[in-house]
């Protein structure tokens, strides 16, 4: 079946512009996560959705970052007034139930590579 799909795969934007990154999780997966991966670094947690609610937004680095999820499916991560330090790969992942409920595994998309010039 289809995996987690992210678009665009690459995005180059000018400093100060807003960007939207999209994630289509695996059908039926109630939990959705956004992570950020900077060059040579591990995966940094940003936000977790259970259904359309976000019980954990603790990883969002600033108020320029926001995310929403609609219909228990598609999610959009928005970065306003982008800065060069926002350059990274943004990864979306989904799981059937969510880590809190039974440790169902995370399935990752291939990410969006964001470059801020």
Partner 1 sequence: GENVEQHPSTLSVQEGDSAVIKCTYSDSASNYFPWYKQELGKGPQLIIDIRSNVGEKKDQRIAVTLNKTAKHFSLHITETQPEDSAVYFCAGNGAGSYQLTFGKGTKLSVIP
Q: Which residues bind partner 1 (CB under 8 A)?
A: 4, 31, 33, 35, 41-43, 45, 48, 50, 55-56, 59, 91, 93, 98-100, 103, 105-111
- Least distance to partner 1 from the beta carbon of 81, Å? 26
SS3 92: strand
Q: Are 92 and 36 in contact (CB under 8 A)?
A: no
Compute the least distance from the CB of residue 44 to partner 1, in Å: 8
Which DSSP letter does residue 80 get?
-
If the CB atoms of residues 74 and 80 are measured against partner 1, the closer one turns out to be 74
Least Å distance, CB 86 to partner 1, is: 19
**16 vs 55 by CB, closer to partner 1:** 55
Closest CA to 107 of 94, 90, 92: 94
- How far apart (Å, rounded) are the C-alpha atoms in residues 43 and 89? 9
- In angstroms, how far is CA 78 from the centroid of its own chain? 9
**19/91 with CB nearer partner 1:** 91
SS3 for 86? helix
CB of 5 to partner 1, least distance (A): 11
Nearer to partner 1 by Cβ, of 78 and 110: the residue is 110
**Residue written as token pair 């940003």:** 46
């Amino acid at each position: 079946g289809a995996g987690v799909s992210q678009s665009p795969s690459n995005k180059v934007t000018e400093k100060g512009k807003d960007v939207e990154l999209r994630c289509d999780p695996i059908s039926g997966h109630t939990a959705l996560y956004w992570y950020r991966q900077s060059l040579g670094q591990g995966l940094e947690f940003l936000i977790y959705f259970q259904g359309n609610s976000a019980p954990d937004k603790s990883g969002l680095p600033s108020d320029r970052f926001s995310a929403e999820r609609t219909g228990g499916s598609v999610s959009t991560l928005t970065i306003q007034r982008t800065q060069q330090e926002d350059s990274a790969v943004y990864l979306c992942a989904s799981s059937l139930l969510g880590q809190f409920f039974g440790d169902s595994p995370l399935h990752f998309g291939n990410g969006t590579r964001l470059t801020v010039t």
